[in-house]
Structures are given as structure tokens and as C-alpha cells.
């Protein structure tokens, strides 16, 4: 099972990235656990200075932009 984390403080872009990640998981049919990381201290542990950010299995895949569900799906394969 993949672990997908959305790093962000709850801004509209962060919420949109989370929704796109949910859609990517559903359309790909893989098992994944989605998690929001909203505390600044926790976000900084990833070395991320700009949000939203996408983390897959502990690796930062995207920073500072909202990926589409199709773009996220390619990162999950």
C-alpha cells in the first residue's frame, strides 16, 4: 500500500491537490493511504519551503504546484 501525503496548511490549492490525489488513487485502482500534513513543523521535516507539496512513500514528488489527477497517477506507478 502506498502512502500519499499532501503537505499544506489548508489553503485552497492544498485542498485541490488532496482532491486530485484522491481522484488519482480511485482511477488507478491502487491501494493507498492519503494523509494531510498541515502543521508547519511537520512540513519542514520534509525540507519543503513551498506548499502544496506531494509526497509518495516518503519521497517529495512535487512542490509549490497543484498537479492534475493524471499527473499524480503517473507518479504512483
Q: Any catalytic annotation for residue 69?
A: no
Burial 45-56 (b: 16+ CB within 10 A, else e): ebebeebbbbbb
Look at residue 15 in the predicted model and tell me its pLDDT. Answer: 96
Every domain of the chain and the residues it spans: 2-76
Look at residue 77 in the predicted model and tell me its pLDDT. Answer: 77
- Considering the candidates 4, 6, 7, 14, report the single residue annotated as catalytic: 14
CATH 3.90.1260.10, applies to 2-76 = no
Nearest to 15 by CA among 73, 70, 66: 66
- Considering the candidates 9, 10, 11, 27, report the single residue annotated as catalytic: 11
Q: Whole-model pTM? A: 0.94
Q: Any catalytic annotation for residue 14?
A: yes
pLDDT per residue over 1-52, tens digit each?
A: 999 999 999 899 999 999 999 999 999 999 999 999 999 999 999 999 999 9
Amino acid at each position: 500500500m502506498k502512502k500519499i501525503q499532501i503537505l499544506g496548511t489548508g489553503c485552497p490549492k492544498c485542498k485541490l491537490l488532496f482532491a486530485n490525489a484522491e481522484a488519482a488513487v480511485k482511477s488507478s485502482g491502487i491501494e493507498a493511504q492519503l494523509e494531510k500534513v498541515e502543521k508547519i513543523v511537520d512540513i519542514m521535516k520534509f525540507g519543503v519551503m513551498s506548499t502544496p507539496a506531494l509526497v509518495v512513500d516518503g519521497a517529495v514528488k512535487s512542490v509549490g504546484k497543484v498537479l492534475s489527477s493524471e499527473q499524480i497517477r503517473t507518479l504512483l506507478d
